[in-house]
Amino acid sequence: MDSPLFSFIDSLSPIEPLKSTYSASSIQAYQSLNITSISSIFTSPHDNAQKELKLSKSSFAEFSESEVCADESDKNKPSKSSNAVRLFACTSTLTQANQKMTSSASKGTVVPAEGLNDLPQPGQFDTGSPDHNTRPCHGVRSDLKQGKVRKLQAFQTAKTNTSEKRKCLFSTEVQLLDGSQPGKLNDEILGCEWDDLISATSGELIAYDEDHKGVQLAVSNAESCGFLLSKLTGDGDISDRTHPTSSTQTYYRELLMEEDQTENAQLVLDGEKNISSEEIQDNLYEANECIPTDYKVETQQQRGMRRRCLFFEAAGYSNRIMQKESVMDLSVSTGKGKSPVQNHPNPGKTPSPRVLRGIGLHLNALALTPKGKMICQDPMTSLVPSSATQQDAHGKLLSAGENFVNPGGDLLELQMDDDCSAEIFLENDHDSSQSNSPQKKRRKADNGDDGEACKRCSCKKSKCLKLYCECFAAGVYCSEPCSCQGCLNKPIHEEIVLSTRKQIEFRNPLAFAPKVIRTSDAGQDTGEDPNNTPASARHKRGCNCKKSSCLKKYCECYQGGVGCSSNCRCEGCKNTFGKRDAAVSTEAEEMKQGVGEAENCGKEKENDLQKANVQPEDHPFLELVPITPPFDVSSSLLKPPNFSSAKPPRPTKARTNSSRSSSKAPGAVHSQKSSKIADSGSNEEMPDILRNDASPGNCVKTSSPNGKRVSPPHNALSVSPNRKGGRKLILKSIPSFPSLIGDTSSGSSMNNSQSTFSTASPLALGPSEAGC
């Protein structure tokens, strides 16, 4: 901070305080933002990826050169709005040179108007071509990141000028452009700058970056954008800002600390407060941001992934793991470890944030259906921090997957999609999605192995604004691969999409919730015993199959790789993953709790056997299924609120749940084990989700939510007295989740933030983002 650079920068930062403009715009953006943000959220990851790619490649180069110059000049003068972005990039270059800029909060004002303006104006980006999407995303993300950045910066005390930050953000691009710098930049990369920019927008901050020549922020920004969107949508943002959760703060602090903060004074900026939820999210992403330039690409992809991927959650989870374990890798690449994530002593925290991102529950469901395919794609990207090369990323992902116990299965799948993600995104970015092009799909399929990996719809009458549309249901924007007609599920129509989403959610709060809930155990189980996993997971609503005997994809349960449960109203159920009767019995047992355990065991065993027979061979996904838990986690973040508000989609389920819940205590399942207690009847679903979430992180595994069905025998957990051991377990997981998120703040804080989000933005795109 103190370094001459600082002073130098300060002198440089002629950039006028765009704050006002920026802040105003930013604010507006936030407020209105949701739309943009939403779009960003929904925007298919593909788009983002594309944009990023473009930027990284051609754009960067261009920017780097022309813009850089401009940047310098810009530094003194606010650049043009449109150019702002580029300028940022340029600035990034500058930043590279000077990167360390500290702007005090007071300086925050310094933020270059241009950049700020630009950033704040997501709309501009959006309007643009497919690229727009990316840009907007950046903007959004930048905003999101800003929060993070703020935190980081704040923590760092470093005060970077918004302009600088902007630069940084773009710098990442620049870096990309400049092949030479990447290495250095990587080190420097800090999402911070972006964050700073964002923060600047928010007005809070000031960020500064020190050395971070390049800023990968852009990448993180994209992600952050998603968060922002979610935040925005969620209102939570504001609330969060106003009331930063202790946990978040702590988290940020830690992040900051981890990063370079040591270098920078640990000042807490005003922004810190503001950071709150957003920051949290950002933090989550931060890891990504932090990731070295190399990761940038991946991160970008991740964006797309997030949006799209159902596995989002899983990805997030995996990311966590990745970060934790792989963090080292990242740090290595980055060299400086500025990325909080990497540095984070507490991997858990960082991961948790990501997990939060994973919010997109829907995705889970989708993911399930795709069976891994989808998962593969996005998750991969999302999971992978961002390695220099995708391949690396893959490797990382894989590694990450390995690391993940539960997610592991997911990870595998994720890997698959590298191709898909990249290509798809690229293609998707364009609006073409609407245009019917089965070919695209094919392509995806071809590329992704699983054509399904990438979600694509063929809607003709629904305009992709109904749950009929898989993309929409998954919380992702339609992309090129889609062969839909009259598609309105595009970033350009964010508002429409959001409003529609809200309507649907209003009608059915769980509409976008993951259809299949997996117990945390599932992952483990799957890993260990494929048989169990399926059992663990259950379709929330349950199916209503009559002719398919729950043996075809028509059956959502089957499609999701889960057995039918008491919630199902199917006739002649022959679900290989678990028959309804069995499920019912299991539930009954659960109801009985301890009492019927023995019986359940027997039944479950049978089920398991069946499953075992079927699953392994027939349903690879089962493994995938475990993924859901992670998603759930993320989803839990978003959705919990929703759930709270949400009405049980179907009374029947609710009923069952309620009955179950009765035994369980709502909410608070702070301790994992306590989770048992926790199940609140009301939240059964939520709990499940949460459970899932928690599971990944915690031990969910230990307890098998699945318990219901899965084999109680297998898991003592199942034994859980409560009607559904699995669920109980889930609850447990929930508590754990919070803990993961922020040890400091504790789950509660997290929960709050989450809840706010969820509530705030029905869209939540979290999912989409998460989505991947």
Task: List residues near DNA by CB under 7 A.
Answer: 369, 438, 457-463, 466-470, 473, 504, 507-508, 511, 515, 541, 543-549, 552-556, 559, 570, 651
106 vs 553, which CB is nearer to DNA? 553
Other residues' Cβ atoms within 10 Å of the Cβ of residue 599? 15
**Minimum distance from residue 750 beta carbon to DNA (Å):** 28
> Rounded CA gap, 552 and 558, in Å?
6
| Dist CA 89 CA 87 (whole Å) | 5
CA distance linking residue 541 with residue 514, whole number of Å: 10
CA dihedral sign of residues 706, 708, 711, 715: positive
Least distance in angstroms from the C-beta of 510 to DNA: 9
Residue with smaller CB distance to DNA, 366 or 612: 366
Q: What is the CA radius of gyration of the chain?
A: 23
CB of 427 to DNA, least distance (A): 17
Side chain identity, residue 547: K
What is the closest distance, in whole angstroms, from the C-beta atom of residue 367 to DNA in the complex? 12
Q: Would you say 176 or 625 has its CB closer to DNA?
A: 625
Task: Please identify which residue in the block is written with the tokens 């199942």.
Answer: 718
The count of other CB atoms within 10 Å of the CB of residue 670 is 21
Shortest Å distance, C-beta 729 to DNA: 26
Report residue 742 CA to chain centroid gap: 17
Burial of 325 (C-beta count, 10 Å sphere; 0-12/13-18/19+) = middle
Report the run of H or E that residue 517 belongs to, with start and end: strand 516-517
Give least dist CB 758 to DNA, A: 19
Q: Which is nearer to DNA, 102 or 434 (CB)?
A: 434
Could you write out the DSSP letters of every residue in 421-464?
Answer: IIIIHHHHHSGGGGS--HHHHHHHHHHHSSGGGS-----SSSTT
CB of 404 to DNA, least distance (A): 26
What is the spatial distance between Cα 377 and Cα 386, in angstroms, rounded to a whole number? 14
Least distance CB 552 / DNA (angstroms): 4
182 vs 560 by CB, closer to DNA: 560
Q: Output the smallest distance, CB 706 to DNA, in A.
A: 20
Residues 439 and 467 sit within 8 Å (Cβ to Cβ): no
Whole-number Cα distances in Å, 120 to 282, 312, 463:
17, 26, 29
Q: Which helix (H) or strand (E) holds 87?
A: helix 81-98
The least CB distance from residue 769 to DNA, in Å, is 21
**How far is the C-alpha of 593 from the C-alpha of 653, rounded, in Å?**
18
In the bound state with DNA, the residue whose beta carbon lies nearer, of 552 and 609, is 552
Question: DSSP string spanning 220-255?
Answer: HHHHHHHHHHHHHHHSHHHHHHHS--HHHHHHHHHH
CB of 467 to DNA, least distance (A): 3
CB-count exposure of residue 288 (10 Å: 0-12, 13-18, 19+) = buried
Nearest CB to DNA, comparing residues 93 and 656: 656
Place of tokens 């999409």: 497
Cβ closer to DNA: 184 or 373? 373
Residues 6+ apart with CB under 8 A from 410: 311, 314, 315, 317, 318, 372, 375, 379, 401, 404, 523, 623, 624, 626, 627, 630
Which of 89, 376 has the CB closer to DNA? Answer: 376
